């Protein structure tokens, strides 16, 4: 075995540079392509998930059980009571870093002579400003500590012809059925990229929304976690400490956009990966076969001097495994270099379905991904070498010796 590896290394170092380089570069290109493609897929999925979590939903939200599945005549009667106690309790569940109590309500907005209906969100501005940083504020600033502030979606602001600093009146009915109104000042205009959302949604402080609706309840509590992996534990923790509540992950809350898009992309990437892998394996096989078949005389000499077919195949496979490993490492190092230089910003992508803005996708690679693609490249090289080696080892010795 030691002799096999010694020969393999000698072959790698001393063979004609053209032959060695051809195999190494082919494997490097193949491995690098797969590595970068996996990184791109991972980046797209992560980017999309992060955008979904940090623009609207958090990692998930908590409601009273059954609330999301039903339509109520008086929904506020099914909102969470004693929200401060629940919030304190939720914060104690391992993995929960932040909580965001919210109210969603319908309202009429008035600016001068213009009246537009909208969808209001009462939020804890100072808390949400630190987490929901994917909300693009294109004018002014986000809603944070401004008690009388209102943040308008881009479409809604255009409909109201409202600018930052303008005053807007929000009219709604209280939980008792009487009309109520509040005068607020526009602090910023945002867009999420989703037009149907940006055309109707506005945000005000939770306290203002509760006063407007004359309630102390909250409709839902969105959760900020330390990691997406903590969701299962948090979900179980909520079920244990508050059996009257149910928790729902962002993937379900945004099923139409997020989960369907992820499933669609994943299927598409599987097809692309199959095509890339086929091309890579064929390319590697072709180069390795050519490299092996160029050595028919050498193999004839080995066979004439008593090497068995198995020994010849083992030698060629060992050599090409070494070449495959060298090519694989080179490909991965090359990609890492590209990721720190020309691809450090990732790829600028056109707007994805339902989104109106371009976005950068980072190529997100991981050590496990590197190991996987390295093995794919090496194994492809090995399979190519094995098939070519079997062919050449089966050749009659005299014919191999005569070949050029």
Partner 1 sequence: MSCIYSCENLRFSYVLGSVPVEALKGVDLKLDRGALVALSGPSGSGKSTLLNLLGLIENPQEGTLELFGQNVATLSETQKNQIRRHKIGFIFQSFHLFNVMSAEENIEYFLHKQGIPLKERTQRVADALNAVGLWEHRSKRPLQMSGGQRQRVAIARAIAKQSEILIADEPTASLDQHTGRDIMELLAKLNSDHKTTVVVSSHDPMVLSFIPTVIRLVDGSLTNASPV
Buried b / exposed e across 336-352, counting CB within 10 Å, b at 16+? eeebeeebeebeeeeeb
Q: Where are the beta strands (DSSP E) in 51-132?
A: 60-64, 96-111, 114-123
Contact 149, 185 (CB under 8 A): yes
Residues 112-151 that bind partner 1 (CB under 8 A): none
**Min CB(288)–partner 1 separation in Å:** 17
Q: At closest approach, how far in Å is the CB of 285 from partner 1?
A: 23
Q: Which is nearer to partner 1, 301 or 336 (CB)?
A: 301
Smaller CB distance to partner 1: residue 3 or 271?
3
Least distance CB 304 / partner 1 (angstroms): 5
| Closer Cβ to partner 1, 15 or 336, answer by number | 15
Q: Which long-range contacts (CB under 8 A, 24 or more apart) does 339-346 make?
A: 339/39, 339/363, 339/365, 346/43
Beta bridge pairs of residue 123: 102, 205
| Residue 77 to residues 129, 231, 282, Cα–Cα distance (Å) | 28, 28, 65
With binding defined as CB under 8 A, does residue 21 bind partner 1?
no
What does the per-residue mask of binding to partner 1 show for 338-367, with x meaning CB under 8 A?
------------------------------
Nearer to partner 1, 29 or 312 (CB): 312
- The verdict on 304 binding partner 1 (CB under 8 A) reads yes
Smallest distance from partner 1 to CB 44, Å: 45
Closest distance of CB 329 from partner 1, Å: 21
In angstroms, the first-to-last Cα distance of the chain is 29
In this structure, what is the dihedral angle of CA atoms 23, 24, 30, 36, given to the nearest 10 degrees? -170
Instruction: Give the per-residue contact string, 270-299, with partner 1 (x = CB under 8 A; - = no).
Output: ---------------------------xx-
H/E element, 173:
strand 167-173
Task: Pick one of 1, 3, 71, 113: the residue that binds partner 1 (CB under 8 A).
Answer: 3
Binding to partner 1 by residue 171, rule CB under 8 A? no
Verify binding: residue 394, partner 1, rule CB under 8 A. no
Q: In b/e form, how buried is each residue of 2-21, taking b as 16+ CB within 10 angstroms? A: eebeeebeebbeebeeebbe
The answer to whether the CB of 300 falls within 8 A of the CB of 293 is no
User: Judged by CB under 8 A, does residue 307 bind partner 1?
Assistant: yes
CB of 305 to partner 1, least distance (A): 5
Number of residues that this document lists for the chain:
404
Q: How far is the CB of 391 from partner 1 (least distance, A)?
A: 17
Cα(78)–Cα(219) distance, integer angstroms:
8
Interface with partner 1 (CB under 8 A): 3, 7, 10-11, 13-15, 297-298, 300-301, 303-309, 311, 396-398, 401
């Amino acid at each position: 075995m030691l002799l096999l590896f010694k020969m393999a290394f000698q072959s790698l170092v001393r063979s004609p540079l053209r032959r060695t380089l051809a195999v190494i570069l082919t494997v490097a290109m193949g491995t690098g392509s797969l590595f970068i493609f996996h990184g791109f897929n991972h980046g797209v999925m992560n980017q999309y998930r992060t955008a979904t979590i940090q623009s609207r939903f958090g990692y998930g939200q908590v409601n009273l059980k059954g609330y999301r599945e039903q339509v109520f005549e008086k929904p506020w009667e099914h909102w969470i009571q004693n929200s401060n106690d629940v919030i304190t309790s939720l914060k104690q569940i391992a993995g929960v870093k932040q909580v965001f109590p919210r109210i969603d309500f319908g309202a009429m907005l008035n600016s001068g002579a213009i009246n537009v209906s909208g969808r209001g969100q009462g939020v804890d501005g100072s808390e949400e400003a630190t987490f929901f940083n994917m909300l693009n504020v294109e004018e002014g600033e986000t809603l944070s500590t401004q008690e009388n502030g209102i943040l308008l979606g881009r479409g809604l602001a255009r409909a109201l012809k409202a600018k930052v600093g303008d005053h807007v009146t929000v009219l709604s009915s209280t939980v008792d059925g009487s009309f109520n109104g509040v005068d607020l000042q526009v602090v910023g205009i945002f867009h999420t990229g989703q037009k149907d959302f940006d055309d109707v949604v506005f945000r005000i402080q939770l306290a203002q929304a509760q006063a407007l609706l004359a309630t102390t309840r909250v409709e839902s509590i969105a959760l900020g976690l330390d990691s997406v992996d903590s969701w299962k534990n948090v979900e179980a923790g909520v079920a244990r400490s508050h059996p009257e509540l149910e928790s729902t992950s962002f993937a379900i809350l945004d099923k139409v956009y997020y989960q369907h898009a992820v499933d669609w992309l994943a299927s598409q990437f599987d097809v692309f990966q199959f095509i890339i892998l086929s091309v890579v394996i064929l390319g590697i096989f072709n180069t390795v076969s050519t490299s092996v078949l160029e050595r028919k005389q050498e193999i004839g000499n080995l066979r004439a001097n008593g090497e068995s077919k198995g020994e010849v195949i083992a030698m060629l496979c060992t050599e090409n495994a070494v070449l495959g490993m060298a090519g694989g490492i080179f490909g991965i190092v090359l990609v890492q270099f590209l990721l720190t230089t020309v691809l450090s910003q990732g790829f600028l992508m056109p707007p994805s379905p339902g989104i109106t803005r371009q976005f950068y996708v980072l190529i997100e690679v991981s050590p496990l991904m590197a190991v996987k693609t390295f093995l794919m490249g090496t194994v492809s090289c090995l399979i190519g070498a094995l098939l070519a080696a079997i062919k050449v080892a089966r050749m009659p010795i005299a014919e191999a010796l005569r070949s050029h």
